[in-house]
Amino acid sequence: MCLGIPALVVGITDARNKLGLVDVCGVRRQVNLACVIDAGQTPESCIGDWVLVHVGFAMSRIDATEARLTLELLQQLGEAQAELEALRAGAVEH
Amino acid sequence: MSAANGLPEGASSGAPQHASNGAPQHASNGAAQHASSPLPQHASSPLPQHASNGAPQHASNGAAQHASSPLPQHASSGPLLDTSNGRPRDASHDTAPTITLAHGGGGRAMRSLIESIILPAFDNPLLAALEDQARLDLTALIALGDRLAFTTDSYVVTPLEFPGGDIGRLAVCGTVNDLAVSGALPLYLSCGFVLEEGLSIEELTRIARSMAAAARDAGVSIVTGDTKVVERGAADRLFINTAGIGVIPGSAQIGADRARPGDAVIVNGTLGEHGIAILIARNDLALSAEVRSDCQPLHGLIGAMRGACPEIHCLRDATRGGVATVLNEFALSSGVCIRVREAAIPLRPEVRGACEILGLDPLYLANEGKLVAIVPPQSADAVLAAMRAHPAGREAAIIGEVCRQPAQRVILSSAVGGDRVVDLLVGEQLPRIC
Amino acid sequence: MRFTDEFRDPDKARALVKEIDALARPLARARGTPLQIMEVCGGHTHTIFRYGLKSLLSEDVIEFVHGPGCPVCVLPMGRVDDCIALARDPAIIFATFGDAMRVPGSQGSLLQAKARGADVRMVYSPLDALAVARANPQREVVFFALGFETTMPSTALTVLQARREGVQNFSLFCNHITIIPTLKAILDSPELRIDGFLGPGHVSMVIGNRPYRFIAERYRRPIVIAGFEPLDLLQSLWMVIKQLREGRCAVENQYTRIVPELGNVPALAAVQEVFELREFFEWRGLGSIDHSGVRMRAEFAAFDAERKFSIPNLKIADPASCQCGAVLKGLIKPRQCKVFGSDCTPERPLGALMVSSEGACSAYYQYARFAEQAVEPDSGVPA
């Protein structure tokens, strides 16, 4: 119950039934968008969104900002470590 | 047979028009009927390969008549009724000529079938003699090498035609490749057809012509054959059995037990395309993508490889069970460890995408134009260059190396650097949701 | 692949591994044992093995305890028998996810039943099962509804769609289970000592973060909601260990790009409309757990296979040699099960843990059963 894959919404195939087309690296499938259409919005508003797809349903919009923040945090971690190691190496020499 | 597209028509933007197998488009009128999801065909079968396990046992020698048998279950067919409208398959060819039991009867109808479709397609003097056997000159064979390579295979794939090929082309290339990986020059093929009553003659003609074209491309001749017709329901439209003969030059000493620590492991291009192309063509999982089977003959490429390095140690084509299976076979036979790097494995984005969606491992997917070669380290670069210069090896890559330990294991260094074992598959790989 | 490849970056993985080791080592030393971290979700078990994360982390510092969050692994044999009984009915087309095809019942698996003539179809989505129903109006289609809260919304929405269209021949065989009672059962188990939890990222995508509060507040254990890429897992592990180092106990969310604090409103609404809690439900290996399963509400009786058809509904005991329960609770590792690799193998599985792609036993068998072998250098044979 865990296999979810990020996909790009590229079209709406059946607005009344909230069905759209998503793309994963060129592989396309029709999915149900009911869980990611905001109240009062049209299905078309999803086009261009990245969503997490699980068993043919888009279950969540992917927050690109949060994704970037997560990666930045990890990047900083790596950089901090590298600095620390350089310091240590420097300290050893002296 | 109606083609169920990956999507209903009328997508508002960017939707590809997906025609499967050239069969008529299934018009979806947007009404409640097929509104919310595409029609799966053959929905009961797992990931198709050349599914030969569980194939029905049916007597095919002697009588062309086939005693009525219960509905066979074998891994590559779904229910034999087209689920879209409850009618038997090929009903859309109702008025077009189809194969009947008479075509297998040995009499006039069969002769007519052979003369009008099979002979012209395969077109060679050995076959045209229409003897019960092909007669091959031994002296000519001996001049080419010191061993005969002899292989046999059966092809039961569904659907019969798919992007990048068809069952006929598969049969020729598969047989040629089985011969070629010994270092042999492939020469002669036999071809046995088992036809289901009701198969359209047009489809059979297309497939025969495709086999002929594949044979020409590969420089081999189909010199003998057989045709049987079984009752509707006793075969999944068309099965092909082949045997192939080639000659191995004395200089070729290739074997699964010849891998040595330090050797390089090379593949000739991107993996998994045949497996994914078939999966998508069967439409059980309602995916659409531009993935074509990589079905192609490999002996030209192998010739180029041997030119760069006469002492190739191991060579095998990665069909059912994929590259993972071949690597395990080599590791077991040679008593070595084979280490491969996930980051080095060439994959098309669409194959990656399909694997991610379905939870499949591309290392286990079927290929029909890919080989795994194990070569001495000092020759690796030369072999790679020779491969990349050849049309069948443009995206060749070194994916790993042979080590001593742990023996008889295949180890993958994952994308993040951790190691895991690549074991032999148990059963078919099934798409998963967990 | 966007939002995927970035979270598989080896350099960041290496940095995380170093941090984890630096943080966790003093803690492990102080305790005299490695930290026991439970990954609840089978998908996380799969990630750990598929990417070889154990080979990156030090065994004496971190020990992964594999949790029961694998809906296939906890399928009782009796339920599999029920599936097969339905599938063997000539009026029924039985549609299921691929995961369930090989789970052994008392008379074999669905895959074996299919080979013997039952009409079993593998689908990727419940929507595809509904499509089969539309295309075969003269037959009944039963969809095997499996999974935790992650998958409940998709099933519920499909049923609502079927009702909207007036489809008469579609029903669910409902085996949805809920994660919270299982977590409670694990936490209440006196034999287990879990230091921290990696929470199920996709269940949380539906239910949000709040339902896990009791783990931090009442049971005083840190829990981090984790994504499924290797960096997600490693970062979550790091966050758990940080909490332990700093003496904190909180529900934290590593998977912020996907998991909303309050869950998914339309998904929860659909689930609420279609399903209700069962008083208790049978879990393979774990016995009966209160309020751990859902069934369809009475107004959806027309879509409920349990009401439409007669099913055997027998409680079948596991084979005597099975130790699935102990493995599911994390009490023993798969290779400590007495039949692991001998009587129970992927070819002839005794339990679902050996079958499911995310079952701990299957993962161990496929990816790691040789890791324990000592290696003689240059001898050409393992010790």
| Distance from the B406 Cα atom to the nearest Cα atom in chain C, whole angstroms | 6
What's the mean pLDDT in C138-143?
A: 98
A27 and B289 within 8 Å at the Cβ level: the answer is yes
A to B CB pairs, distance under 8 Å:
90
Chain A residues within an 8 Å CB radius of C46? 2
C116 and B418 within 8 Å at the Cβ level: the answer is no
| Distance from the C51 Cα atom to the nearest Cα atom in chain B, whole angstroms | 5
Residue (of C351, C379, C382) closest to C364 by Cα position: C351
C372–chain B Cβ distance below 8 A for any pair: no
| Distance from the A62 Cα atom to the nearest Cα atom in chain C, whole angstroms | 5
pLDDT tens for residues C216-263?
999 999 999 999 999 999 999 999 999 999 999 999 999 999 999 999
Q: Which chains touch A (3 or more CB pairs under 8 A)?
A: B, C
Chain C residues within an 8 Å CB radius of A70? 235, 254, 256-257
B to C CB pairs, distance under 8 Å:
179
Among A2, A24, A41, most C C-beta atoms within 10 A, so best to mutate, is A2
What is the residue whose two structure tokens read 């046999």?
B152
Confidence band for B425, pLDDT divided at 50, 70 and 90: confident
Angle (CA) B357-B286-A12 rounded to 5° is 90
What's the mean pLDDT in B280-289?
A: 92
B28–chain A Cβ distance below 8 A for any pair: no
The per-residue pLDDT for C201 is: 97
A21 and B11 within 8 Å at the Cβ level: the answer is yes
Please tell me which of C46-55, C319-328, C368-377 the model is most confident about, judged by mean pLDDT.
C46-55
CA-to-CA distance for C168 and C2, rounded, in angstroms?
41
Task: Give C247-297 as a DSSP string.
Answer: T---EEES-TTT--TT--HHHHHHHHHHEEE-SEEEETTTEEEET-BEEE-
pLDDT tens for residues C62-114?
999 988 888 988 888 999 999 999 999 999 999 999 989 999 899 899 999 99
pLDDT tens for residues B361-415?
999 999 999 999 999 999 999 999 999 999 999 999 999 999 999 999 999 999 9
Domains of chain B: 26-252 (3.30.1330.10), 264-421 (3.90.650.10)
* Percent of chain C clearing pLDDT 90 (strictly above): 71
| Distance from the B42 Cα atom to the nearest Cα atom in chain C, whole angstroms | 8
B79 and C56 within 8 Å at the Cβ level: the answer is no
* Percent of chain B clearing pLDDT 70 (strictly above): 78
Among C1, C111, C120, C357, most B C-beta atoms within 10 A, so best to mutate, is C357
Residue predicted with more confidence, A68 or B23: A68
Confidence band for B261, pLDDT divided at 50, 70 and 90: very high
Chain A residues within an 8 Å CB radius of C203? 1
Task: Give B196-237 as a DSSP string.
Answer: ETT-BHHHHHHHHHHHHHHHHHHT-EEEEEEEEEE-TTSSSS
Confidence band for C51, pLDDT divided at 50, 70 and 90: very high
| Distance from the A24 Cα atom to the nearest Cα atom in chain B, whole angstroms | 5
Among A13, A22, A55, most B C-beta atoms within 10 A, so best to mutate, is A13
Collect all residues with Cβ–Cβ distance below 8 Å to B432 and sequence separation of at least 6: A3, B358, B359, C97, C98, C99, C357, C358
CATH class of A5-91: mainly beta
B11 and A17 within 8 Å at the Cβ level: the answer is no
Q: How many CB atoms lie within 10 A of CB C36?
A: 17
> Residue B14 pLDDT more than 70?
no
C125 and A24 within 8 Å at the Cβ level: the answer is no
B46 and C373 within 8 Å at the Cβ level: the answer is no
- Beta carbons of C35 and C195 less than 8 angstroms apart: yes
> Residue C139 pLDDT more than 50?
yes
**Overall size of chain C counted in residues:** 383
C151–chain A Cβ distance below 8 A for any pair: yes
B357 and A11 within 8 Å at the Cβ level: the answer is no
CA-to-CA distance for B328 and B330, rounded, in angstroms?
5
Is the domain spanning C77-179+264-308 CATH 2.40.160.40? The answer is no
Among B416, B419, B423, B432, most C C-beta atoms within 10 A, so best to mutate, is B416
C124 and B414 within 8 Å at the Cβ level: the answer is no
Task: Give B8-47 as a DSSP string.
Answer: -S--SSS------TTPPB----SSTTT-SSPPPSSTT--S
Least confident of B300-314, C58-72, C208-222: C58-72
C163–chain A Cβ distance below 8 A for any pair: no
The per-residue pLDDT for B95 is: 66
CA-to-CA distance for B152 and B168, rounded, in angstroms?
15
User: How high does pLDDT run on average in chain C?
Assistant: 91
pLDDT tens for residues B25-67?
333 333 333 333 333 333 333 343 333 333 333 333 333 333 3
B434 and A53 within 8 Å at the Cβ level: the answer is no
What's the mean pLDDT in B228-236?
A: 92
The per-residue pLDDT for A93 is: 62
Closest partner residue to C114 (CB to CB) among B44, B359, B413 is B44
Chain B residues within an 8 Å CB radius of A26? 289-290, 349-350, 353
Chain B residues within an 8 Å CB radius of C116? 73
What's the mean pLDDT in B72-100?
A: 49
Least confident of A3-12, B20-29, C170-179, C254-263: B20-29
> Residue A19 pLDDT more than 70?
yes
- Beta carbons of B238 and B171 less than 8 angstroms apart: no
Closest partner residue to C346 (CB to CB) among B83, B359, B426 is B426
Q: How many CB atoms lie within 10 A of CB C266?
A: 18
* Percent of chain C clearing pLDDT 70 (strictly above): 96
Which CA distances in Å does C101 have to B259, B381, C120, C304, C309? Answer: 37, 45, 9, 21, 21
C201–chain A Cβ distance below 8 A for any pair: yes
Label the pairing between strands B419-421 and B410-413.
Answer: antiparallel
Amino acid letter, residue C27: L
The per-residue pLDDT for B106 is: 81
Among C124, C149, C160, C335, most B C-beta atoms within 10 A, so best to mutate, is C124
B139–chain A Cβ distance below 8 A for any pair: no
User: Which chain A residues have any C-beta within 8 angstroms of a chain B C-beta?
Assistant: 1-3, 5, 10-17, 19, 21, 23-30, 32, 44, 47, 53-56
* Percent of chain B clearing pLDDT 90 (strictly above): 66
ipTM (interface pTM): 0.93
Closest partner residue to B406 (CB to CB) among C123, C127, C382 is C382
Extents of the domains making up chain A: 5-91
The per-residue pLDDT for B117 is: 87
Which CA distances in Å does C338 have to A29, C64, C351, C372? Answer: 44, 20, 13, 16
The per-residue pLDDT for A2 is: 77
C168–chain B Cβ distance below 8 A for any pair: no
The per-residue pLDDT for C220 is: 95
> Residue C378 pLDDT more than 90?
no
> Residue B4 pLDDT more than 70?
no
What's the mean pLDDT in B414-422?
A: 94
pLDDT tens for residues C274-299?
999 999 888 888 888 888 999 999 99
The per-residue pLDDT for C370 is: 66
C159–chain B Cβ distance below 8 A for any pair: no
Confidence band for B109, pLDDT divided at 50, 70 and 90: confident
